[in-house]
Amino acid sequence: MIKRIFTILILLSLIVPLNFAQGVDRSGGYARILSLGNNPYVVDPEGIKLNPAWASEYSNFIWGDIGSNTGAAFGNSSAGQFFGGNFDLGRGLTVGAMLTRNDFNSISIGRLDPFSIAGIGVVNLINQVPGASAIALNNNLELLGAYKKGKMTLGFGFAFASTSSETSPPQGNSTTSSASQIGLNPGILIELNSRILLDFGASFIFPSAKYEPAAGNTAKVSETIIGLNGRAFFKYSNKIRFIPSLVFLTQSGSGDNGTISTDLPSNTAFALGIGVEYTSGDFLLVGGPGLATISSKTPAGTTGNPPELTTSYFLFPVWNVGAEWHALDWFIGRLGYTASTGSQTTQNGVVANAITEVTNTLYAPGLMTLGIGLRFGDFALDGTVNADVLRQGLNNIAGGGATFAYLSTSYAF
């Protein structure tokens, strides 16, 4: 349970969308956001992942993530890789696509079986049924489009992926295990006036898995994942903007073995933040405090004691701060910092139908990040620096450590 909650904390930090600015720099990616303290208030094409209306601001644009050097957060050596592109068709219409994997670094329709990392994905659960052998979802295709008319932009994304495994004996019926996922992603940008813009995106993700034995009942598992992301951007002056943000994520599901239906463990996350952006020439400073609540519920067992058990977190303040400066036409330096303080409440036992609760103070110690951006004409390469490179000093001459922890790339044309 504790491992699952910390996983939700990691996932929550990845679902915050990015704000809007007129005349956006058509470059960037997750490596830039990570370098700036995993900052939820930074203008970047990352916003396309949660609100396809952003594609209109990044038309004629090819981008992707080269990924992580260690993959520690996702379990492989090149985590987070994807490739995408957006193309201007004229008359305000932009179309695009993204090819993603099951380690995609955002809970959006591009991420397959999102809660598999927490051990409660549909493939993990269906394979607990004796005989089931469903194949994990991978290689997702997301199609998206944006239509801009006046001061309003509408966007929509659609994604679908599936797998199957069938065993056909010489005699008798076949045994089939399968999994699939449908994703829908509407979004909108509305410029109310020269000082206020609203940004809203919603992600609806429906993963499911099924096991059909040669004889007996069919087993099914399905989940519903809904993410809502809202922003309002208030321009105070040419140097300062205030950026309140709101994020909501919920996951629930059910399982059916043909005779008994049960509810799956569920998770709900809520985040509220207020960012301040300060710009002066080639220098950007952006960040602010936020709060977050996360709740994970486990349904009652067969004994019926109690109705459910809950582990919850309340985090305040959550700090995300970043600075960026264009040192040269082709070189950008970045610095970021994240930290959070809160409490954890766990229901860890039941005696005589009474629930025992334990509440503890929780710290996520401050973490400093560094990054660079390289610009060669319309080509961009952004990297989050592996801090060990700086700590090792002269050992880098003969050492074998990786220089970058994460890399993103893009090309605007």
pLDDT in tens, 286-321: 999 999 999 998 887 644 555 678 899 999 999 999
Strand partners, 222: 208, 254
> In the structure encoding, which two tokens stand for residue 247, read together?
């994020």
> At 20, is the pLDDT very low, low, confident or very high (cuts 50, 70, 90)?
very low
Contacts of 378 (CB under 8 A, 6+ apart): 411, 412, 413
Q: Which residue has the higher pLDDT, 19 or 336?
A: 336
Q: Strand 308-326 and strand 283-299: pairing?
A: antiparallel
Strand partners, 192: none
Cα–Cα dist 114/405, whole Å: 23
Domain of 316, CATH number, reads 2.40.160
Cα–Cα dist 141/161, whole Å: 7
Q: How far does CA 2 lie from the centroid of its chain?
A: 20
Percent of the chain with pLDDT over 90: 67
The full length of the chain comes to: 413
Cα–Cα dist 382/375, whole Å: 9
pLDDT at site 352:
59
Q: Tell me which residue range forms the domain holding 210.
A: 2-412
Q: Determine the 3-state secondary structure of 33 from DSSP.
A: helix
Q: Are 155 and 187 in contact (CB under 8 A)?
A: yes
Strand partners, 105: none
Q: Are 98 and 110 in contact (CB under 8 A)?
A: yes
Q: In the predicted model, is pLDDT for residue 343 greater than 90?
A: yes
The secondary structure element, H or E, covering residue 274 is strand 266-280
Q: Are 86 and 58 in contact (CB under 8 A)?
A: yes
> In the structure encoding, which two tokens stand for residue 65, read together?
């993530």
With CA atoms as reference, report the closest residue to 247 among 225, 266, 231, 267. Answer: 231
Q: Are 68 and 80 in contact (CB under 8 A)?
A: yes
Cα–Cα dist 52/240, whole Å: 26
Mean pLDDT of 347-370: 80
Q: What average pLDDT does the chain have?
A: 87
> In the structure encoding, which two tokens stand for residue 380, read together?
């961009």
pTM: 0.88
Q: In the predicted model, is pLDDT for residue 394 greater than 60?
A: no
DSSP state of 307: S
| Tally of domains within the chain | 1
pLDDT at site 22:
41
104-118, 193-207, 317-331, 382-396: least confidently modelled range: 382-396
